[in-house]
Structure 1
Amino acid sequence: MKKAFRILFSVLFFWLAIGLYFTNRIMYIKKKDEEFILNREKQAGRFNPDEYDSLPKRDVTIRSPFGYNIKAVLAEPHETNRYVIISHGVTENKINSVKYANLFLERGFNTLLYDHRRHGESGGKTTSYGYYEKFDLKAVVDWLKKEKGPDLVLGIHGVSMGAATMLLYAGLLEDGADFYIADCPFSDFKQQLAHVIKRDFKIFPGLLLPIGDAFLRLRDKYSIRHVSPISVIENIKHPVLFIHSRDDDFILPSMTHDLFEHKKGPKMLYIAENGVHAQAFDENPDDYKRVVDEFLDKYTQYAY
């Protein structure tokens, strides 16, 4: 009896340790150092401190529905009602969004950059890959619409987790923008986790995912099954430009192909020839800009 009890205890302890490790890796994913992000963008020529400092802008604090502050920067060099919100990827911050903001500033849009929960200067204790972040994005959209009035023309640009967050916002909460640009989103968080587990840990995810999901529901009050842009993409009626790098091995391009196929109504797809994950703009800037111009020209009245 004692031996059986010890075996049972060992098995339970093993799965407890696995569940805690799995959810810690998800909830408290290691973020990139902010100085590293800043220096990387400066050295690559994608962030010019002098140009950024001279830009007419102001810091903004938006209250999350979960009680913490969302920190944002509103850049308004143009007398216009055209705005684009930039939603960055996991482990990054709004400095990484400046290059995308510049793209839209050059096209006559004003921009709002913000830090996701638990990233940059924003509050929040955990990262949820779009589950809680979509409500924060709604708070950002609502704030901007209240600030700028009913005639606001709005686009949202998202990268990686930021793109998934954007699609979840538009598909689950409200199709509240006039257009969307989804750069390398995952289509389903469960499938994405399974891919990463097999790629990085060389183990079969079949047992790990249910255990991890159970712990995640206990610890962060949501299920990985609830983070699935593919399940809500058909609800988005406004135009979506889907972008992915062909050689992305972190979030596979097939996920963007699936999202594109399931999206009804106006849409475009661009598969970048160069770069890996979240590098479509970095490695293909001219083509990226050209495709954005074609998208705006085709599906909005605001061609560059």
Structure 2
Amino acid sequence: MKRKFMVLSSIVTTVLASITAVSGVILSNKLMYIKLKDPALVLEREKKARRFDEEWFNQCHKQELLIQSPNGYSIKGIFLQPLQTNNIIIICHGVTENKMNSVKYARMYERLGFNTVVYDHRRHGESGGKTTSYGYYEKMDLGKIVIHVRELVGENAIIGIHGESMGAATTLLYAGSDEDQAKFYISDSAFSDFRQLLYLIVKNSISVDLKFAVHLTDLFMRMRDGYWIKNVLPKKTIKKIDKPVLFIHNIHDTFIPYTMTEEMFELKNEPKMLRLFEKGEHSQGFNEMPLEYEDTVREFLTRFVPEALVIEEDID
């Protein structure tokens, strides 16, 4: 009887361990290999919404960028140069999107006196990289892009970074790092805590206990992709940021709660500015209220980076 009990116990333990392992693989796969939007469909969506000005894009002087990531792959981007200036804004797109989604901001920044760099995050668009890490590895790529852009336009370049969603989290993680070399930052719809985002992603999609699932996924992310979820916490970097930050969020965001942005705004020391839009869902402030959005960015630059609003002489 004792032997049968031990055998049964061993079988149960093995089955539970197998279920745990399979659950961990499934959950970490959902994050690491999150389904991306078809680039052709993204471009078509932007054209249909009249956010992608194809005639302007085709005529705009541009430079293709191919930058080597410190993580061992190539990052593909485009340096859009409608102006003779060394004011540069780097746009970081959200998860599942690509650089063509970022082009919508280029005309706004042209009016504000900036050229624009748009690029694909790792594993997105035309960039390399096997997994999505929600800002952990992406912040290192962003640092490399800033260095490359500064080499192109000179040490006196005024460089700002504008990110939305995961791109905003990446922006804040970079801004709070020792590698920070930008002049200002704009964070649109960032999450403050990756663990909370993980709760949102797996909620109602699995049958196991949510807290157990998060801890399990954390372990598998560490084993499979080399980082802990606790290392992707923008709110922990906020107090390290001494540059101006504009925080933007939509109150009706059902993917990332606007309270996460409010939390980070409260944690950030001056200089800072907050704008919550009443219309639109996740990262839809610019799409729904473009004039108000541009006015917000202009006010931020006027208050905290006035020198960036002056179009400078030919960078050559």
TM-score w.r.t. length of structure 2: 0.93
Q: Which residue of 2 aligns with 1:87?
A: 92
Residue 65 of structure 2 aligns with an amino acid whose one-letter code is V
Aligned equivalent of 1:119, options 124, 134, 138: 124
Aligned equivalent of 2:181, options 171, 176, 193: 176
Of 283-292 and 169-178, the range deviating more from structure 2: 169-178
Question: How many Å apart are 1:202 and its aligned residue?
Answer: 7.8
Question: How many Å apart are 1:303 and its aligned residue?
Answer: 3.9
Q: Which residue of 1 aligns with 2:250?
A: 245
Q: Which residue of 1 aligns with 2:142?
A: 137
Per-residue CA deviations over 1:61-109 (Å, capped at 9, x if unaligned) read 1110112110010011211111000000000000000011221112110
Q: Distance in 1 between matches of 2:90 and 2:292?
A: 21
User: 1:148-227 counterparts in 2 under 5 A?
Assistant: 148-198=153-203, 201=206, 204-227=209-232
Point out where structure 2 has 5 or more consecutive residues left out of the alignment: 1-5, 311-316
Question: How many Å apart are 1:196 and its aligned residue?
Answer: 3.0
Residue 57 of structure 1 aligns with an amino acid whose one-letter code is K
SS of residue in 2 equivalent to 1:173: coil
Per-residue CA deviations over 1:18-45 (Å, capped at 9, x if unaligned) read 1000110111000001111011101000
- Seen in structure 2, the aligned counterparts of structure 1 residues 128 and 293 have a Cα distance that, compared at 3 Å, is same
The structure with higher relative contact order (CA 8 Å, sep 6+) is 2
Question: How many Å apart are 1:175 and its aligned residue?
Answer: 2.9
Q: Distance in 2 between matches of 1:275 and 1:200?
A: 25
User: Contact (CA 8 Å) 1:87, 1:156: kept in 2 or not?
Assistant: yes
Question: How many Å apart are 1:200 and its aligned residue?
Answer: 5.1
RMSD (Å), alpha carbons: 1.3
Q: How many residues align?
A: 304
Q: Which residue of 1 aligns with 2:313?
A: none
Residue 129 of structure 1 aligns with an amino acid whose one-letter code is Y
TM-score w.r.t. length of structure 1: 0.97
Q: Distance in 1 between matches of 2:252 and 2:82?
A: 36
User: Contact (CA 8 Å) 1:61, 1:72: kept in 2 or not?
Assistant: yes
Per-residue CA deviations over 1:232-264 (Å, capped at 9, x if unaligned) read 111110100000001001000000000100011
Residue 17 of structure 2 aligns with an amino acid whose one-letter code is L
Question: How many Å apart are 1:154 and its aligned residue?
Answer: 0.8
